[in-house]
């Protein structure tokens, strides 16, 4: 723990973090959930592990959070590499090291599953994670919150074609580095090939050429080679005693969040942004949000299931309701996805009571369009008196289009009550 260097991390953050965000168009949601005290930060492990670990180091550093990450002991055996990772907060992946860091008041980052998880092949990308239980036992024993972080897109940064225990043994890695599974990836093939060609061109002996090829293959399984777009979603913390009481319950909660399909993914087509929409996106900030709302009051009996069913059909039939934004290299981009990554309950919310403060908070919350759809509804109810708030981002609808979409949704969902709608 004493090897961590805050000055070194600060220097890296000045140049490396902007480079990573540019090359991999990293979008983040939920950074406010990162813990400032002792907690476990549990993230999924992919072949883009270098991007994942560094992203979290820099996101934590932006909030001046002193954190540590558990790493495979083989990492510390590699000259210079081990020293580098110690400086950015890497510690040995042992129970004793994790407990020591937690008791020192620091969050601990862990990627359960080790190299078996990180080295899974492309066809296993969407599989459920067969993690061990050590991390959950530590969280329960130390009674610390657990923050789940999900990465999307990092497994395509370095495509892995197969992962094998036999390959690891053939390369003597269980004895040299204590690595049980080892992959065959695009980065390894490229690096080994370039190394062999260069050393051969330099006229080195066959033994040296073979060694260069071996090292080029063994040392590069996690090197990023394809600049894929990356999304990071950080969930609210799971609290001991409130959200979980034993390790099995905690694992179920964490794996449930990992299995959620709540990040835009799958087949998509470009949905171009016009000049006004680009202006809106460029000029948004923490203080400026380009949302607008319609607020109406009405009376009658609500049928939630009917409203959810109509909303699901509405989202299915209208492509631009399934749009999400990504960081482009030079400008933001928007795509329409074939399948919705959200449920009707994610965009239609119900509350008991006509609370003005909650309505103001709903209207004022900025939408993260890299993860969330650009439209949402709030229905507040007090008996048979209701208030309907329609909030929409201007990059999705504007002007008359917003009024038309609201009217169409209201007629379908409110049925006979539509004539009772009155402006608030």
Domain residue spans of the chain: 6-157+228-259, 159-221, 268-423
CATH assignment of 268-423? 3.30.559.10
Q: Answer with the residue of higher pLDDT: 74 or 153.
A: 153
Query: For the chain, what is the mean pLDDT?
Result: 86
With 0-12 CB in 10 A as exposed, 13-18 as middle and 19+ as buried, what is 331? Answer: exposed
Express each pLDDT in 369-403 by its tens digit. Answer: 999 998 899 999 988 888 888 888 888 876 667 77
- Rounded to the nearest angstrom, the gap between the alpha carbon of residue 184 and the centroid of all alpha carbons in its chain is 25
Q: Given this model, what pLDDT does residue 419 score?
A: 47
The pLDDT of 287-301, averaged and rounded, is 81
Q: Element (H or E) spanning 294, and its range?
A: strand 291-299
With 0-12 CB in 10 A as exposed, 13-18 as middle and 19+ as buried, what is 229? Answer: buried
Phi and psi (nearest 5°) for 398?
Answer: -150, 155
Its pTM stands at 0.89
The pLDDT of 241-267, averaged and rounded, is 87
Q: Given this model, what pLDDT does residue 415 score?
A: 59
For 123, the token pair is: 């066809």
In the three-class reduction of DSSP (H, G, I as helix; E, B as strand; rest coil), residue 336 is classed as strand
For 375, the token pair is: 């439209």
Instruction: Indicate if the alpha-carbon torsion angle 13, 14, 19, 21 is positive or negative.
Output: positive
Do residues 191 and 223 make contact, with C-beta atoms less than 8 angstroms apart?
A: yes
Express each pLDDT in 121-170 by its tens digit. Answer: 877 765 545 566 788 889 999 999 999 999 988 888 888 888 888 888 88
- Rounded to the nearest angstrom, the gap between the alpha carbon of residue 265 and the centroid of all alpha carbons in its chain is 12
């Amino acid at each position: 723990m004493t090897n961590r260097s805050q000055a070194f991390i600060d220097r890296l953050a000045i140049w490396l973090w902007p480079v990573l965000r540019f090359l991999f168009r990293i979008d983040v949601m939920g950074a406010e959930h990162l813990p400032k005290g002792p907690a476990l930060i549990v993230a999924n492990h992919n072949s883009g592990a270098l991007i994942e670990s560094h992203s979290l180091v820099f996101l934590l550093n932006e909030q001046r959070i002193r954190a540590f990450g558990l790493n495979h002991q083989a990492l510390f055996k590699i000259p210079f590499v081990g020293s580098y990772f110690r400086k950015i907060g890497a510690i040995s992946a042992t129970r004793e090291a994790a407990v020591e860091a937690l008791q020192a008041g620091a969050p601990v980052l862990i990627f359960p599953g080790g190299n078996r998880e990180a080295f899974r092949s492309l066809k296993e990308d969407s599989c459920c994670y067969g993690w061990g239980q050590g991390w959950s036992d530590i969280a329960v024993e130390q009674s610390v919150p657990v923050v789940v972080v999900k990465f999307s897109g990092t497994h395509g940064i370095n495509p892995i074609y197969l992962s094998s225990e036999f390959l690891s043994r053939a390369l003597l890695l269980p004895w040299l580095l204590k690595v049980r599974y080892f992959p065959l990836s695009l980065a390894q093939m490229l690096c080994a090939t370039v190394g062999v060609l260069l050393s051969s061109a330099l006229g080195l002996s066959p033994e040296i050429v073979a060694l260069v090829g071996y090292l080029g293959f063994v040392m590069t399984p996690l090197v990023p080679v394809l600049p894929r777009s990356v999304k990071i979603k950080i969930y609210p913390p799971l609290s001991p005693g409130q959200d979980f009481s034993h390790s099995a319950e905690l694992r179920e909660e964490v794996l449930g969040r990992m299995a959620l399909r709540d990040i835009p993914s799958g087949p998509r087509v470009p949905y171009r942004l016009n000049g006004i929409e680009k202006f809106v996106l460029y000029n948004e900030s923490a203080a400026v949000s380009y949302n607008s709302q319609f607020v109406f009051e009405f009376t009658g009996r609500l049928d939630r299931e009917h409203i959810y069913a109509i909303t699901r059909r509405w989202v299915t039939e209208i492509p631009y309701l399934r749009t999400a934004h990504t960081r482009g290299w030079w400008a933001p981009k928007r795509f329409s996805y074939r399948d919705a990554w959200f449920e009707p309950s994610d965009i239609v919310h119900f509350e008991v009571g006509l609370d003005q403060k909650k309505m103001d908070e709903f209207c004022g919350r900025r939408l993260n369009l890299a993860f969330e759809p650009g439209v949402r509804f709030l229905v507040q109810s007090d008996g048979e008196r209701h208030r309907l708030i329609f909030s929409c981002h201007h990059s999705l609808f504007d002007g008359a289009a917003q009024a038309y979409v609201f009217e169409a949704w209201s007629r379908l969902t409110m049925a006979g009550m539509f004539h009772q709608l009155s402006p608030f």
